Amino acid sequence: MRHRIPSDAMSKDRVDGQVTGMAGEFLTLGKLFKRGYQGSVTFGNTKAIDLFVYNPQTERTFNVQVKTLRTKNCFPMRREDVHPDHIYVFVLLNGFDKDEVFFIIPGCDILADIDKFFGSSYRRRERPSPMPAINYGPLAAYRDNWKIFDS
C-alpha cells in the first residue's frame, strides 16, 4: 500500500524547532566546557531550565535557559517566563558557513528594563502583543558575555 504525502509537506523543508533548540543547548554547553565549567543538559519538552552549569572555581551553580534561532530575528518569549535568577543564552546558529553568535544575560537585567528588551510587545498595557519577543538589538551589549559564569 502506498502512503500519500500531503502536498504542504512537499512544498518546503522546515527545520524542527526542537532540533534547533537542542543545537543551541549543546553548542552553549560546548562553549562552557571549553572555558572550564561543568554542565549538563536537562531533557524534556516542558522544561523550565535547559542547562545546569557549575563553576568549580567559585562552587556556584547556574540555571540556564537557552533560546535559539537559525537566523537573525526576535526571540519569542514572554516576560512572565523570565526568572530573575536564571541566566539566558540567546543563540543565533547562522547556518554552516558562519559562526554562531551568543548573547548571555541575567534574567534580572531583562526584567529591569522590559521596554528595552521587549520593545513594543508590552507597551500596549491593555492588550500586549500575542507574540511577545526579546528584540535582537538590545542584546548586542551581552555578546559573548561568558564572564557572567565567573561570579
Tens-digit pLDDT string for the chain (151 aa): 444 444 444 434 556 788 899 999 999 999 999 999 999 999 876 678 999 999 999 999 999 999 999 999 999 999 999 999 999 999 999 988 899 999 999 999 999 999 999 988 887 666 778 899 999 999 999 999 999 999 8
Tell me what pLDDT residue 78 has.
93
Q: What is the pLDDT of residue 46?
A: 63
Residue environment code for 28-50, b if the CB has 16+ CB neighbours within 10 A, otherwise e: bbebbeeeebebebeeeeeeeeb
pLDDT for position 45: 65
Across the chain, the runs of DSSP E, i.e. the strands, are 38-41, 51-55, 60-69, 75-76, 87-92, 101-106, 133-134
Tell me how crowded residue 90 is: count the other CB atoms within 10 A of its CB. 23
Can you give the pLDDT at residue 116? 94
Structurally, at CATH architecture level, domain 15-143 sits in: 3-Layer(aba) Sandwich (3.40)
Residue spans per domain, the chain: 15-143
pTM: 0.86
pLDDT at position 8, please?
47
Output phi, psi for 69, to 5 deg: -125, 150
